[in-house]
Chains A and B, each alone.
Chain A
Amino acid sequence: MAAIGGRVLLTLALLLGACGRHDRIIVGAKNFTESDLLAEIVAQQIERRLHVPVERRLHLGGTFVCHQAILAGQIDLYVEYSGTAFTAVLKHPPVVERDSVFRQVASEYSRQFGLRWLTAFGFDNTFAILVRAADAERYGLKVMSDLSRVAPRWHAGFGYEFLERADGFAGLSRVYGLHFAAPPTAMDLGLTYRALADRKVDVIAGNSTDGQIAALHLAVLEDDRHYFPPYEAAPVVRAGTLERYAGLARALEELGGKISDDEMRRLNAAADVEHRDIRTIAHEWLEAHVP
């Protein structure tokens, strides 16, 4: 109830925020650490280069909430992932042509929504099928194809978004022939990590750049059949906002290609495992990498 109440409040806050906005840029983020962190980096970069007030609306619901918010002009930009936009927003079937995903997404967003994709940060945060490292060793699990051997005795727990998405569980179980002991338990994404670590489920779907993977002694199974499209993170900005603030595109392009998979995992761990403040993490990263 509290979470639902929170979402209602958030919606109200969004609606109120839309009224009476002055000269400021509103940066949104989805409801997980990496999205918050990247939004904070983007926000500080804008403040450093443009000297415009930036309002942060972090930790909004999932993909769809951010998409609705940016379409309605309640946020000016947020960080989206190419594969997510491709399958979940544009509703394309998960594809094979990995290289064309980003280009195709960028051109369709521009045409359909008036939204611009800027240069990607450089890392690929794919869905990660996670098991406990001890189990991976005991059963010799390295790639996702190995999972079909043990699946009939195992239990899975997935977030609601993964269960509903076209590039989520339905396609995954078809491509890899997965049949678990029981239908996967639908639960809150954050709680799936805890359930896996506490041996209440045996396999979950997380994010490959997640800081918790090493901390909780989990192993990522490689997507050997390339089921998941690439999920390159990049700022998505309203075209109108780019026109209104001349230096905005240039300031954000400076961040392009600067964050590798390992770097993103390290930043996430700094927030999730070491519990450092994301403002400080973002500030230090910008000072060190984008002087």
Chain B
Amino acid sequence: MSLLSFYSRNSAELLALTWQHVYLVVVSTGAAIVVGVPLGIALTRRPAWRAPVLGLANVFQTIPSLALLGFLIPFFGIGAWTAITALILYALLPIIRNTYTGIAGVDPAVREAGRGMGMTDGELLRLVELPLAAGVILAGIRVATVVSVGVATIGAAIGAGGLGVYIFRGVATVDDTLIMAGALPAALLALAADAVLGIAQRRLAWQR
């Protein structure tokens, strides 16, 4: 069976799985931004936290995804929430690290000039550091998003749905068409996410 005829026969299912996939990625990356960016900022204020926080985020990256899902089942059960938790843990490192690197990389002279103008720490962050670091932070978010699109396929191992369902089904029955049916749209999603965030990143660079 060719890929096209498979899609035409299962278009409703394909749409549902693609939607589930996008949902997993958007929710998890969104949560990782909400947690990761403030954490990255905090690290520039509290240098002592840097090694343990980045170390921990690093450790999450090294846990194989199937094993991480296994660890999480007792706490989050099976389904989308466990997958989202795992995706958040994977997305944290690039976001925290780029936020930290972006802000730490702001020219000290610029920061001093801000202080000289009487800016408080909050104003300095909002008006000077974050705008200057935005490009680097966005680059981290871009990496996290693209990686999440790929990792989200493993959500199918715990009933979270997504395009991984086709891949798992295909691997279980050695059906290359099925594997491609899941892998191809996942790859296209990753490329699309990368392109959109890339445009946003260039916009930011251009504004500066």
Contact = CB atoms under 8 A, between A and B. Distances in A.
B174 A157 contact: no
Given A2-B65, A65-B174, A186 B70 contact: no
Contacts of A65: 171, 174
B16 to A, nearest CB: 13
Nearest to A62: B172
Interface in A185-201: 185-188, 190-191, 194-195, 198, 200-201
A4 B74 CA distance: 24
Contacts of B172: 61-62, 64, 159-161, 164
A198 B64 CA distance: 21
B30 interface: no
**Which of A2, A61, A159 has the most B CB atoms < 10 Å from its CB?**
A2
Contact of A191 (B70, B165, B169): B70
B90 to A, nearest CB: 9
Given A62-B172, A164-B172, A198-B73, A187 B159 contact: yes
Contact of A188 (B77, B79, B157, B169): B157
B159 A3 contact: no
A19 interface: no
B158 interface: yes
**Which of A4, A7, A62, A195 has the most B CB atoms < 10 Å from its CB?**
A4
Contact of B173 (A64, A190, A191): A64
Given A61-B171, A61-B174, A64-B173, A191 B74 contact: no
Q: How large is the interface on A (under 10, 10 to 19, 20 to 34, 35 or more residues)?
A: 20 to 34
B53 interface: no
Given A61-B174, A64-B173, A187 B150 contact: no
Interface string A57-74: 000011011011000000
**Which of B64, B78, B156 has the most A CB atoms < 10 Å from its CB?**
B78
A7 B182 CA distance: 15
A3 B64 contact: yes
A194 B159 contact: no
A191 B73 contact: yes
B25 interface: no
Contacts of A187: 78, 156-159
A5 B168 CA distance: 13
B78 A2 contact: no
A4 B169 contact: no
B70 A194 contact: yes
B42 interface: no
A237 B112 CA distance: 76
B151 interface: yes
B154 A194 contact: no
Interface in B72-117: 73-74, 77-79
B167 interface: yes
B137 interface: no
A2 B64 contact: yes
A198 B82 CA distance: 14
Nearest to A186: B159
B66 A188 contact: yes
B74 A198 contact: yes
B168 A160 contact: yes
Nearest to A61: B171
Contacts of A157: 78, 159
B70 A4 contact: no
B179 to A, nearest CB: 9
A81 to B, nearest CB: 16
B169 A164 contact: yes
A191 B174 CA distance: 21
Interface of B: 64-66, 69-70, 73-74, 77-79, 150-151, 153-154, 156-159, 165, 167-169, 171-174
6 contacts: A4-B154, A4-B167, A159-B172, A186-B156, A194-B70, A195-B77
Interface of A: 1-4, 7, 61-62, 64-65, 67-68, 157, 159-161, 163-164, 185-188, 190-191, 194-195, 198, 200-201
